[in-house]
Structure 1
Amino acid sequence: MTVVLALLIDWFVGDPPGVWRRTGHPVTWFGGLIGALDRRLNVRPSRKAKGVVAIVVAILAFALPATVLTGFLDALPGPLETIALALLASTLLAHKSLNTHVARVTDAASIEEARAAVSMIVGRDVAALDEAGVARASVETLSESLSDGVVAPAFWLAIGGLPGIVAYKVVNTADSMIGHLTPRYAKFGWAAAKLDDAMNFVPARITAGLIMLTRPSTFRRRETIIDDAGRHVSPNAGWPEAAMASALGIALGGPRTYEGERVDGVWLNPRGRAPTMVDVRRAIAIGNQAAAIQIALYALIFLLV
């Protein structure tokens, strides 16, 4: 029941403005420690081994206190314990935040405003993006973030309680900070990237399934979705993106530019049409429907177990 309540709190309440003004959000705590470990340990020799040490230290630094806190909360009456755990866990879910950021793109009054809004949620260069490029970037980010910001944290909360979701978010934060194939991070961030891939393996495929459940006709194209996902450079991101592309009937992926360097990404659902802002709104709706199905499934599991 903790998972269901945490998902509902995040969806409808999220992180109210000003709540973390004094202390910073928990994810910023994770990032602060990871940044400090990066500065301290990311030097020759043995960068790969030091990267392993860094991710282990980061996980233990936050998962162990979460375990202790869970023990304290266990002394509370059942309903109060569930509510307390759900409130804490909801801070590590990102459904409301995701919808808010993507909706800003669709609310933009001009292509310049849309580019500025999408630049806040993607890492690619946006200055030359037309409407289709902005819409494509928005839908791709929404699809991937639905997996690693909503489905995956809920999955690890269900598997490992508060320590489970904390460990996942530490790893996911580390991957976003140091899990890059650059000269500085190719070795030091190797462990974080591989662990993030492993922890997202099942959730990414669950997310694809949830998206497909919102549009049952996509199951007739499941072989294409699986094939497209398998050709994606990421072992996980391609799954929700390919499912969303099929559900909307649009083409996602393709070439994009990062810091002036062109990257020729694979096309997902290549026979689909170019996306528009209407498709971004439809993607938000599909994400909400997929999230609702997820909540219903966790509620059903709770009732049956």
Structure 2
Amino acid sequence: MVVAMTVDALLGWPGALFARIGHPVTWLGRLISLFDRSWNRAADTPSIRRIAGLAAALLVIGLCVALGWMVQAVLPPGWTRVMVLGILAWPMVALRSLYDHVAAVAQPLQSGDIDVARLAVAQIVGRDPATLDEAGIARAAVESLAENASDGIVAPVLWGALFGLPGIVGYKAINTLDSMIGHRSERHLHFGWAAARIDDVANFVPARLTGFLFALVSVRLSEALSCMIRDANRHRSVNAGWPEAAMAGALGVRLSGPRSYHGSITDEPWLNEGARDPLAADLRQGLRLYIRAMALLGGSLVALALA
């Protein structure tokens, strides 16, 4: 996992490589889309659609775990195995990609180019960008940074550290299923129910670990911890509230709150209510906090490996 994190931090997933072969997530996406088209039939009853969605999720996850296990089983022991598994796990870790996407929001926001910042933040969140001012853009980007640090780095690294290639590939299948069919749209309310619940379970520990990592590297340790413990469960998500609340306390800003999706206002509770709104400088500080937290994660893995 340390090899995977290091390679991704240095290279990301190069555009030329993506143009040539795509990315494992896009390959997973095609498989999931195939099941969605074939098994998610509007004419079926809600219970049938739930069973079909559960079967599709288990089949996708099972295939990925089996593939990871077969590849891992044929590798020789020693440093060759470590390096090869690290390279194979590299695409499953979004360390560099997350930083680049959030930095693409921070740079124009800091220079006062709100229109460009809105376009950049629309790439990472689903809320209506036209309704966002500086505080709204910064808040959306900070929330995305906190939540995706858990989903995109800590969770796959943790499952990979525990179970090797089958663990990280299996987790990536779970997370991709949730992203594609786990939302509460009319089409996926029943078919994606199982995918969403499996994702909740898979991210339960990583989300809380991410929150503690943010708190531990913050100069506002006590504020981050108290905000996380107090406000995490106020979030609509059973998991996302932990890293987001920790980030809110660490930066001394309020996050979440009402937001607009497709013209409709969603009245979400505030995390760290009473604090000020985040600005461009807070987004930069959030990125620095993210770097320190991920360095702590990697360093902890090195220490465990040496021990």
Q: CA deviation at 1:230?
A: 0.7
**Corresponding residue for residue 31 of structure 2:** 33
Tell me how far apart the structure 1 counterparts of residues 2 and 225 of structure 2 sit (CA, whole Å).
28
Structure 1 range deviating more: 77-86 or 157-166: 77-86
Counterpart of 1:51, as a letter, is G
Structure 2 counterpart SS, 1:18 = helix
Instruction: Give deviations 1:87-121, integer Å, cap 9, x for gaps.
Output: 11011000100111111111225100000000001
Report the 3-state secondary structure (helix = DSSP H, G, I; strand = E; otherwise coil) of the residue aligned with 1:166. Answer: helix
Residue correspondence of structure 1 range 102-181 to structure 2 within 5 A: 102-108=102-108, 109=111, 110-181=113-184
Describe the superposition over 1:176-203 as per-residue Cα deviations: whole angstroms up to 9, x where unpaired: 1111122211111011000000000000
Q: Find the residue that maps to 1:104 and give its secondary structure.
A: helix
The match for 2:300 among 291, 297, 300 is 297
For residues 34-69 of structure 1, give each alpha carbon's deviation from its aligned partner in whole angstroms, at most 9, with x where no partner exists: 111011111113000000000011112222111111
Instruction: Provide the C-alpha distance between the structure 1 equivalents of 2:222 and 2:131, rounded to a whole number of angstroms.
Output: 35
Instruction: Work out whether 1:51 is the aligned partner of 2:53.
Output: yes
Change (3 A) 1:183 1:92: same
- SS state at 1:257 partner: strand
Amino acid at match of 2:300: L
1:193 equivalenced with 2:196 (yes/no): yes
What is the rounded CA distance, in whole Å, between the counterparts of 1:81 and 1:22 in structure 2? Answer: 26
How much has 1:219 moved relative to structure 2?
A: 2.6
- 1:23: Cα distance to partner? 2.2
Residue 286 of structure 1: how far off its partner (Å): 0.2
Matched to 1:81, the amino acid is: R
> Normalized against structure 1, the TM-score is what?
0.95
In structure 2, runs of 5+ residues without a counterpart are none
Distance in 2, Cα, partners of 1:82 & 1:105: 36
Match of 1:234 in 2: 237
Aligned-partner Cα distance in 1 for 2:224–2:164? 35
Percent identity among equivalent residues? 45
Instruction: Return structure 1 stretches of 4+ with deviation > 3 angstroms.
Output: none
Q: What CA distance in whole angstroms lies between the structure 2 residues aligned with 1:215 and 1:66? A: 36
Letter in 2 for 1:6: A
Q: Greater shift after overlay, 131-140 or 257-266?
A: 257-266
SS in 1 for 2:92: coil
Partner of 1:97: 97
Q: Which amino acid aligns with 1:208?
A: G
Aligned equivalent of 1:71 = 73
Instruction: Find out whether 1:263 has 2:266 as its counterpart.
Output: yes
Question: Quick one: distance in 2 between partners of 1:124 and 1:165?
Answer: 29
What is the rounded CA distance, in whole Å, between the counterparts of 1:272 and 1:89 in structure 2?
39
**Unmatched tracts of structure 1, length 5 or more:** none
Worse overlay, 246-255 or 60-69: 60-69
**3-state SS, counterpart of residue 37 of structure 2:** helix
C-alpha distance in 2, partners of 1:131/1:222? 27
Three-state SS of the structure 2 residue aligned to 1:36 is: helix
Q: In the superposition, relative to structure 1, how do residues 215 and 168 fare at CA in structure 2: closer, same or farther (>3 Å)?
A: same
User: Residue 63 of structure 2 is aligned with which of 21, 41, 61?
Assistant: 61
- Is 2:87 the partner of 1:87? yes
Q: CA deviation at 1:70?
A: 0.8
Are 2:259 and 2:268, in contact at CA under 8 Å, matched by a contact in 1? yes
Deviation of residue 258 (structure 1)?
A: 0.9
The answer to whether the Cα contact below 8 Å between 2:60 and 2:173 also exists between their aligned partners in 1 is yes
**Amino acid corresponding to residue 212 of structure 2 in structure 1:** G
Matched, 1:209 2:207: no
Corresponding residue of 1:12 = 10
User: Residues 92 and 172 of structure 2 are in contact (CA less than 8 Å); yes or no, is this contact kept in structure 1?
Assistant: yes
Structure 2 residue aligned with 1:182, among 185, 191, 194?
Answer: 185
- Aligned partner of 1:14: which letter? G
The corresponding residue for 1:281 is 284
TM-aligned CA deviation for residue 136 of structure 1: 0.3
Q: CA offsets per residue over residues 141-163 of structure 1, 9 Å max, x none?
A: 00001110010010010111111
